[in-house]
Amino acid sequence: MFNFEGIVIDVLKANGIKANSIKKKGRLNGNDEREFQCDCAFALNNDLVLVECKAFTQPFSSRSFYEYINKKEEAIEQFKSIAEFYTNNIDYVREAIDLDDSWNPRNVVKIILTTVYSGMNESIGEYNFMDFSTFKSLVDRNPPSINILDDKKIRKFTLKNYPMYEGKLTANKLMNCIKMPPSVDLEYKRSEKTYIDMTVGNVILRSIRWKHKFDSEIPLGEMPEGHLERMGRIYGLE
């Protein structure tokens, strides 16, 4: 059985971040007692991060895309009461991730972590969607890179201008990564907008197409003159 939340917790612990799931019974807003399960909670300095893990299927069709939108709305509704409960009961969080009794969060960051690759900033109110691939690379401090094939060997170039990967992970760096996922930013940088016009009677229809300026993996011997310098300017290679 796929244990998504267990994988997330293991990634955090492997990087020295205390993390755990929490399951407690209690009441919220005067309602009947019930169980509240938070898939993952961890602290970054004085900031608390609460995570709801959702193993959604990657949408590829129009129908599956709209189904994914509905799933996100349902996930938010489910997560609201969980996040509120543990924000109001910090002692359960302290116990679960072994924090001092005097610790109190400065801010509470609420993340819905999914297996669906993000194509844009997906924050709805105070609830932030993030894909696991981006999350793992950030926690692992593994910045974006580009590969160039050089005589059957792959040369890896780390990309600059992504300070959220530098130094120790903080809540601000996490939020900056959510606001503009590096994978999305890089796709914009290596793509350019083109237009295709088609005349139908007296009407001109214009469609937008995005094309890549270059691929992620390029044989160095086939690279046009000046192409590497152009890539360096666009990507910020080092």
Q: Residues 12, 13, 17, 21: is their CA dihedral positive or negative?
A: positive
Determine which helix (DSSP H) or strand (DSSP E) holds 59, and give its type and residue range.
none
Question: How many C-beta atoms surround the C-beta of residue 62 within 10 A?
Answer: 8
pLDDT tens, 43-58?
999 999 999 999 888 8
Q: Of 84-88, 188-192, 227-231, give the lowest mean pLDDT range.
A: 227-231
Q: Is the pLDDT of residue 235 over 80?
A: no
CA distance 126 to 108: 10
Tokens standing for 149?
């094939």
- In 3D space, the residue among 209, 218, 217 whose CA is nearest the CA of residue 191 turns out to be 209
pLDDT tens, 174-224?
999 998 888 888 777 777 788 888 888 888 888 887 777 666 555 555 555
pLDDT for the residue 217: 56
Question: Are 79 and 112 contacting, i.e. CB atoms less than 8 angstroms apart?
Answer: yes
Q: Of 141-145, 185-189, 232-236, give the lowest mean pLDDT range.
A: 232-236
